[in-house]
Each structure stands twice: as C-alpha cells, then as structure tokens.
C-alpha cells in the first residue's frame, strides 16, 4: 500500500471523481508520468508483483484546484474545455475459453466487476490494445478477433467503447497484474457473468451465449 500522505492511482481517481472529473486510471498514470502532479509529488511503492506509482495528497489537491473553473463547487460536474483533445476510445477484451469469460473485480467498485479494458493508445489498433491490456492486467496471452463484436458510447461514462473478442493462445492461468485497478481476476461462467455484470452490452451477451452456451 502507499505510504501515509500519499495516494495510490485508484485513490487519486476516487479523489478526482469526487471533484467532478472522470479520468480513467490509465489517463491518471499518463498525467503522473508527464509531470502534471509535479515531480516532487510523485513516488513509488513496491509489492511482490512490481513497482507502482503513488501521488502526494497535496499534489492531487493542487492539480484539482488548478483544473476546476472558477465558480464551481466540490462534486460539480466539470465540463471539458472545448480545446481539450478528444479522449481515446476504450477497448473491452471479451476473453473466452473452456473455463468461461475473463472478468476483473475493480478496487474502486465502480462498477464492481468489468471485462478487461483500457484506452487505445495513439496509433494503436483496437486489436493491439486488447492484447496488450489483457497481458498487462492478467498475464494472459491472447489473440484478438479481426472484427469487433460492436461499439457504443457508454451510458455512464460517455466514453466510446469498442468490444473485441479475444482467445487465449497458451495457458489459462491468470493473476492481477495491475493492483492499482483490480483486486481480482477470474474466469466466470455465463450464469455468473450475467449476475456480476447485469447491464452488459446486448451484443456482448449475444456473443457470450454463442461462445459459452445459453445460461441455465
């Protein structure tokens, strides 16, 4: 865990959401790496899995104060500046195997469970991003399908979502590769995933029914 006076990326995100912003964990990591929180406000902590960023509470509060327009209050939605570059789409990797579909439990609980997903980086294809995200977050090696399952503007976040089928190319063992984002990753049956992700995109559900069979 991060030291006293410092926040993990997940805690930084929660603080930003409370202030009216909706940056993803991946966006926050980029902001940290590009110096938006100040070099003196950033440090690292170690776990058995690897090294993770942490940001001082003061640096986060200064960042929020500098970003919030005059006249807005804590908790207000803060509209994006019209000159701000459009955020990249998010790809959701729908990974299926004989064990089920791969899902992760989020640390922030918003939402509690999710498919493995992340922003598509500039110049990156959705297929490349899907493969990269699955490897980074679960350690699993996969190949992505050539065509999308579908895409939509997410009803809660307003982000463009691309849903892409993926299939393991080797062993099926998984682990949490990004402790800032996820508390657990696992294979789930069709019945279980419908319970844990009740507002699943209908095209994804149709895909899972074809891949895993209809729920009992």
For the stretch 73-100, pLDDT in tens is 555 555 556 666 667 899 999 999 999 9
Query: Cα–Cα distance between 5 and 2 in angstroms, integer?
Result: 8
Q: Do 182 and 107 form a contact (C-beta atoms < 8 A)?
A: yes
Instruction: Quote the pLDDT of residue 1.
Output: 45
State whether 58 and 107 are in the same domain: no
Contacts of the segment 23-30: beta carbons below 8 A, 24+ positions apart? 24/90, 24/118, 24/119, 24/159, 25/178, 25/180, 25/181, 26/118, 26/119, 27/87, 27/119, 29/53, 29/180
pLDDT of residue 73: 56
Number of Cβ within 10 Å of residue 51's Cβ equals 8
- Does 186 score more than 90 pLDDT? yes
Average pLDDT score, the chain: 85
Same domain, 102 and 178: yes
The residue-averaged pLDDT of 115-143 equals: 93
Q: Contact at 8 Å (CB) between 132 and 139?
A: no
Residue ranges with strand state E in 69-178: 90-97, 100-106, 113-119, 142-144, 150-153, 160-168
CATH number of the domain within which 14 lies: 1.10.10
3-class DSSP assignment, residue 114: strand
Domain span at residue 194 reads 90-212
In a domain, 201, yes or no: yes
| Same structural domain, 105 and 200 | yes
Residue in this structure with the two tokens 């990269």, named with its chain if needed: 132
The answer to the question of residue 17 being in a domain is yes
Tell me the range of 56-65, 70-79, 180-189 where mean pLDDT is highest.
180-189
């Amino acid at each position: 865990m991060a030291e006293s006076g410092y926040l993990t990326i997940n805690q930084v995100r929660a603080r930003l959401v409370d202030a009216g912003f909706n940056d993803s964990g991946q966006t926050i990591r980029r902001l940290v790496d590009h110096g938006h929180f100040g070099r003196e406000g950033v440090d690292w902590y170690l776990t058995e899995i690897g090294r993770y960023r942490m940001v001082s509470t003061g640096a986060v509060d200064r960042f929020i104060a500098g970003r919030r327009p005059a006249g807005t209050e804590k908790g207000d939605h803060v509209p994006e500046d019209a000159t701000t570059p459009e955020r990249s789409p998010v790809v959701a990797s729908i990974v299926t195997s004989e064990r089920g579909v791969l899902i992760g439990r989020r640390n922030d609980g918003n939402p509690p469970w999710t498919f493995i997903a992340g922003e598509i980086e500039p110049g990156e294809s959705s297929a490349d991003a899907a493969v990269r995200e699955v490897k980074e977050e679960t350690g699993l090696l996969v190949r992505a399908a050539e065509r999308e399952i579908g895409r939509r503007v997410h009803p809660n976040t307003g982000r463009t979502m691309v849903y892409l089928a993926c299939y393991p190319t080797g062993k099926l063992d998984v682990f949490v590769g990004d402790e800032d984002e996820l508390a657990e990753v696992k294979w789930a049956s069709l019945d279980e995933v419908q319970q844990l992700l009740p507002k699943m995109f209908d095209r994804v559900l149709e895909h899972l029914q074809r891949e895993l069979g209809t729920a009992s």
